[in-house]
Amino acid sequence: MIYSFIKNYFYNSSLSKLCCAKVENRQVFPFTAIIGQTNMKLALILNIIDPRIGGVMSMGDRGTGKSTVVRSLVDLLPKIQVVNDDPFNSHPSNIDLMSQEVKNLKLEGKPIYTNFIKTPMVDLPLGATEDRVCGSIDIEKALLNGAKAFEPGLLAKANRGILYVDEVNLLDDHLVDILLDSAAGGWNTVEREGISIVHPARFILIGSGNPEEGELRPQLLDRFGMHVRIKTIKDPISRVKIVERRSNFDKNADEFLKHYNFLQDFLKNRVVNARDSLKDVKIDYQYKVNIAELCSRLNIDGLRGDIVTNRAVKAFVALNSRKAVLDKDIFSVLSLCLIHRLKKNPLESIDSSQHVVTTFKEIFGYSD
């Protein structure tokens, strides 16, 4: 009986590891093969160029490929260097991306061994508890051994990567607050019974949801850097193309991916170059004033709209291999940064996006 138990245990463990390996190495539909969703793709790319933009919230109909776009994003990111056997994906030299254990090793002058891994992409399930998200402290072990026994959560796993929450509008508001705080501050703090653990948690937060199931509270929605509304594609030709591409991918993923290798590598290089050149992009002072006036005229609360728009337009210019911001660049990212921050007036018949465009043209004297 004991032999049978041990045999089954090791068999199931091996099978579990094999299944996990297959899941980790599963092929993902290529980003450049996705038809439509231009705004969604642009918002995601700008966030991986400059994560300080603050993430993306996408709301749209069922079956419009929101999850597919997000999961395909990770293939555009370069591999990252991490410290071996570190649960926080610590950077070997950047102290802001380093766990306390790695900092201690550096202070003691001990050797630090590293390797390169694929940028982490973490899915947060709807039923996740606070301990699963933030991590938990084993109080009993801490009291008995005098050591901080910390079990890292999903925020630790997502450090230096992407954290994706599908149906984020159904997630408990308290958990959404925790995610947004960590994404904005770059650190996660866990406190239990007088014991405190702090670790880096810098990630790009991406949420998606179906508006039929409810909207996020405005206070939470405002904290997402960008917002995208996704509608079902109506054009019959485009719909047929989507079905054919998906069928070809399902039939022979390896062969399908070969056709998009060039486009994937081209876009990946654009993103890497944009990250490197972002610091050189300049925005004219008058444009900053105009953006501030625009946010003021639109009656947007706080300064997040101003900050995000300035960051997003710089990332957009860097993506297009330029160093000076033009008014057309601001126009290209404006709606993504501001529409979800507008106060809803049920008596107004004008579309909110049209209101933003009209006000922009008045202030900038812009004609497309």
Structure tokens at 267: 């876009």
Question: Contact at 8 Å (CB) between 298 and 337?
Answer: no
Can you give the residue ranges of every domain in the chain?
Answer: 29-79+118-230, 281-364
Known catalytic residue: 304?
yes
Catalytic hit among 304, 311, 322, 341: 304
- HEC letters along 179-227: HHHHHHHCEEEEEECCEEEEEECCEEEEEEECHHHCCCCHHHHCCCCEE
CATH placement of domain 281-364 = 1.10.8.80
**Paired residues of 122 in beta bridges:** 163
115-155 pLDDT, tens digit per residue, is 999 999 999 988 888 889 998 877 666 566 656 678 889 99
Helices 261-277 and 38-49, packing angle to 10 deg: 50
The rounded distance, in Å, linking the Cα atoms of 220 and 304 is 12
pLDDT at 73 over 70: yes
Q: Is 29-79+118-230's fold the same as 281-364's? A: no
List CB contacts of 6: < 8 A, sequence separation 6 or more: none
322-346 pLDDT, tens digit per residue, is 999 999 999 999 999 999 998 776 5
Which tops the pLDDT comparison, 231 or 274? Answer: 274
CATH topology of domain 29-79+118-230: Rossmann fold (3.40.50)
pLDDT of residue 60: 86
Query: Which of 94-103, 214-223, 299-308, 338-347 has the least mean pLDDT?
Result: 338-347
Q: SS3 for 116?
A: strand
- HEC letters along 348-366: CCCCHHHHHHHHHHHHHCC
Query: What kind and span of H or E run contains 134?
Result: helix 130-134
Q: Where residue 296 falls among pLDDT bands split at 50, 70, 90?
A: very high
pLDDT of residue 19: 37
Tell me phi and psi for residue 334, to 5 degrees: -55, -50
pTM, entire model? 0.86
Query: What kind and span of H or E run contains 136?
Result: strand 135-137
pLDDT at 243 over 80: yes
pLDDT of residue 33: 94
pLDDT at 186 over 80: yes
Of the CA atoms within 13 Å of residue 218, those in its CB half-sphere come to 10
Mean pLDDT of the chain: 85
Structure tokens at 72: 């395909």
pLDDT at 65 over 80: yes
The rounded distance, in Å, linking the Cα atoms of 215 and 304 is 20
Quick one: what percent of the chain has pLDDT higher than 90? 51
Question: Contact at 8 Å (CB) between 242 and 233?
Answer: yes
Report, as an integer, the average pLDDT of 49-57: 93
Q: SS3 for 102?
A: helix
pLDDT of residue 1: 42
The rounded distance, in Å, linking the Cα atoms of 299 and 193 is 44
